[in-house]
Amino acid sequence: MKVYEAVANAFVKEGAKTVFGLLGDGNLSWVAAMSRHPAVRLIDARDEGAALLMAEGWARATGEVGVCNVTQGPGLTRMTTSLVTATRSRSPVVVYTSKTHFNDEHVNQAINQERLVSATGAGYVEVLTPAYAEDAVRQAFYRARMESRPVVLCYPLDIQDWDCDGDDDYQTSATLFTGQQRIRPAQDRLEEAAKIVAASRKPVVLLGRGAVRSGAVDSAGRLAKRIGALIATTLVAKGTLAGAEYHAGIAGLFSTRTVMQLFDEADCVIAIGASLNQHTLAGGLLFPKARIVHIDATRTMLMGNDRLAHCYVQGDAAITTQALEELLAQQGVSGEGFRTPAVRRALLNSDRDPAEYEIEPGTVDPRE
């Protein structure tokens, strides 16, 4: 078995069923091997950067690791902006690529790929022996998910055609995650959060991608209803609980004027699985009067204004949100908050642009 065939088999076992890319001499053999697997769908892109962004979108939509492939040298340089974007978006993607022949630095495609990729913030794994071919696939998928960023997996042209012993008992990266446990919040942090929430009169529950991934959406909805909170989301979590009666839409630079005015009145924000970056906080201008309760699985996290939340609770978003709601219920905490007829009327058409435009048949209104 050739290296490229063993690597293709490993990708399939890792769950790569939809692969985006642009064909070149560096990935030709691997793509051909992938195409022989009936369950694999290969989607061509017109640009290398677009291929990566398509894989990133796939990762966001499915919760799986996205996969794309490009050729070496200029094929990789043309996706650098997308690598930066996917890295900063913390999207798990594995990029298959190649490298020019050993000791052939005079060819136009020869560049220092590791330094290029490292400059974007993405990970880089290069395979130099056939024995490492399949292990590198496992490592790339593991790192992409564990580090929440793209990982470029490089097989130089010399290596791809070498023989290797394919592993029929290939152990996928999923086996490296067995035994993981969801983090439960410390009781004192939970009580501190409950104290801040109980004292608030106009709270906002802000949901990020972490809340969606952990399954915290339902408990967040119950929490918001209990305390009379508006429900808002980060941009990447747009649409979460959109059917809720007091849904305020996106928090940040995409907030409507009406919603921003309501946020000015907020005295507490419970951020669940959200990084609270500078975009979500509108450069620090949003929620000027609010005390922030920040729930996230990360050990600690500065907000986009370079400050720590008034109460940071480390814990799994779903477990922590449920625990907080149950603690407030035990304490008899509930309130009307923002949930009044006047606020409901204000939110009713707050996201509708009053301008009218003729929309051609078969096209989409980007405001919808």
Please write the tens of the pLDDT for every residue from 263-283: 999 999 999 999 899 889 988
Rounded to the nearest integer, the mean pLDDT of the chain is: 92
In the predicted model, is pLDDT for residue 367 greater than 70? no
**Backbone phi and psi for residue 323, each to the nearest 5 degrees, phi listed first:** -65, -40
Residue 299 clears pLDDT 80, i.e. is over it:
yes
Instruction: Report whether pLDDT(247) > 90.
Output: yes
pLDDT in tens, 303-350: 888 889 999 999 999 999 999 999 999 999 999 999 999 999 989 877
pLDDT for 253 = 86
Q: Is the pLDDT of residue 103 over 70?
A: yes
Please tell me the class of the 3-177 domain: alpha beta
On the CB side of 7, CA atoms within 13 Å amount to 34
Q: Would you state the pLDDT for residue 352?
A: 65
Q: How far apart are the first and last CA of the chain?
A: 51
Q: CA 62 to CA 99: how far, in whole Å?
A: 30
β-strand pairing of 66-69 with 41-44: unpaired
User: Residue 358 corresponds to which amino acid?
Assistant: E
Domain boundaries, the chain: 3-177, 187-348
Q: Which numeric CATH code is attached to 187-348?
A: 3.40.50.1220
194-217 pLDDT, tens digit per residue, is 999 999 999 999 999 999 989 999
3-177 with 187-348: one CATH topology? yes
Work out the pLDDT band at 357, boundaries 50, 70, 90: confident
pLDDT on residue 368? 66
* Region 115-119 average pLDDT: 96
Angle, helices 133-147 vs 3-13, to 10°: value is: 40
- pLDDT the model gives residue 351: 67
**Three-state DSSP class for 156?**
strand
Q: What is the model's pTM? A: 0.82
Q: Give yes or no for residue 106 having a pLDDT over 80.
A: no
Q: Where is pLDDT greater, at 111 or 218?
A: 218
Output the pLDDT for position 285: 86
